[in-house]
Structure formats: structure tokens, C-alpha cells
A and B are shown apart, each in its own frame.
Chain A
Amino acid sequence: DVKVTQSSRYLVKRTGEKVFLECVQDMDHENMFWYRQDPGLGLRLIYFSYDVKMKEKGDIPEGYSVSREKKERFSLILESASTNQTSMYLCASSLGGLADSYEQYFGPGTRLTVT
């Protein structure tokens, strides 16, 4: 089974802090994704990566950056956390380079609260 793990289940940070969310997958997947999930809005794509050191902006990249130094690890960075970034953050991975027909495998999520 594919396993996607996220470094924290719950995180509380203060406004202005730099926040790192880590994601690791163990199935040698090329693609990795970061989403945020908010009630009534579904999942919205923040950034994705289709290879090591490659990244692409998703639908809502503002206020976020990412890093992928190793194939199995994809980090989401909030440079200066703000209260409107309070949300559930989900990491996912999938096969296939740029192919979009492969299902994504999700981690358990990190619920981030910014106070």
C-alpha cells in the first residue's frame, strides 16, 4: 500500500511565524501535491511538483512556497503565517510524470491554526 505521511496532525502557530509542513511518500511517485481543504470549498491546489526540484503553482499559491529536494519529500512553507491560512492541509502523491489519469494518494492531513 502507498503510504503518505505528514509531519504533524495538529499545529498551532502565531501570526507572522514561518511554518513548515512536511510530507513523505514511500512509493517512488513522481508527482506530489499540496492542497488546502476548507468547508464548502472542497480541495484547492496550492502547489505541485512532477519531479525533484521542479514545482508548479496551483490555483492558490499566494503566501506559500514549496521545496522538493528529494523525490519522496515535498515541503510546504508559509513564509509569514496569517489567520486566513488557518485550514486543513493535505499532501498527495501519484504516478506518472505529467499524466493526469492516475489516482492520487493522500496523507492524513495537518490541521493548522494561526492565532
Chain B
Amino acid sequence: AQSVAQPEDQVNVAEGNPLTVKCTYSVSGNPYLFWYVQYPNRGLQFLLKYITGDNLVKGSYGFEAEFNKSQTSFHLKKPSALVSDSALYFCAGSWGKLQFGAGTQVVVTP
């Protein structure tokens, strides 16, 4: 079955350090891949998507993600994390319908 997986429930990082949130997807065709972020008590906001083309995708708030077909991964990255990046992050893949991962809580400490 088509799916995405987020192997980490929580990621802790100090402000100013690089942030990586991991996502892998099942190999079934060529999915469209997305990252969304959810700040406390708010709906999800779109960050970025991979459709085709350049494997490095740049998105909102300084985030980027790298599509790696050989490793079936689409990890989200930010070179220097901010306290305000603390939120719940969801990876999603679309094989006709959007399938969400379970989410990764990011905690950035001052």
C-alpha cells in the first residue's frame, strides 16, 4: 500500500543548529510529496512540494527538502533552526489521494 513514514515522533534541536525532519515513502509509482506544518491550535500550512524536476525543493520560512529516489526519502531541512519553528510537521504523499505521515514534533530550545 502506498504510504509515507516519519520515523521520529519528536526532534529536539538547539536554536541556530541545523534541523532535519525525516520522511520515507513507499515505492509505488511516482508520488507527489509534500510537507506541511501545524503550529499550536492552528490548521496545517503548506511548506513545499516535490512534483518533478530538481531534487532540491525550496519552500516557505527557509525550509527545503531533498527528494532521494534511491533511498525513497524526502527529508525536510533548515540550516539554522529558530524557536518559532517549534511545531508539528507532517510529510504527505499523493498517489491519487493524499496520505499523511503520523507527524514529527519539533522542539527548538533557546
A105 contacts the other chain (Cβ, under 8 Å)? yes
Chain B residues lying within 8 Å of A84, measured Cβ to Cβ, are: none
**Complex: A100 Cα to B95 Cα, angstroms:** 8
Which range holds the interface residue count of chain B?
Answer: 20 to 34
Q: Which of A13-21, A41-49, A66-74, A75-83 contacts B (4 or more CB under 8 A)?
A: A41-49
Of B12-20, B42-50, B68-76, B79-87, the one with at least 4 CB within 8 A of chain A = B42-50
Can you sample 19 A-B contacts with CB below 8 Å?
A: A33-B98, A35-B100, A40-B103, A42-B101, A42-B102, A42-B103, A43-B100, A44-B100, A48-B97, A59-B97, A90-B43, A100-B94, A100-B98, A101-B49, A101-B51, A103-B49, A104-B44, A106-B45, A109-B42
Chain A residues at the B interface, C-beta cutoff of 8 Å: 4, 33, 35, 40-45, 48, 58-59, 90, 92, 100-101, 103-109
Would you call A4 and B98 a contact (CB within 8 A)? Answer: no
B90 interfacial contact with A, CB 8 Å:
yes
A109 and B90: CB pair below 8 A? Answer: no
Q: Which residues of A contact B96 (CB under 8 A)?
A: 100
Q: Which B residue's beta carbon lies closest to that of A109?
A: B43
Query: Does B32 touch A at the CB level, under 8 Å?
Result: yes
Contacts A100-B32, A100-B98, A103-B34 given; does A42 touch B43 at CB 8 Å: no
Give complex CA distance A100, B94 in Å: 6
A43-B44, A101-B49, A106-B44 given; name 14 further pairs at CB < 8 Å. A4-B43, A35-B100, A40-B102, A42-B102, A42-B103, A43-B100, A45-B97, A48-B97, A101-B32, A104-B98, A105-B46, A106-B45, A107-B43, A108-B41
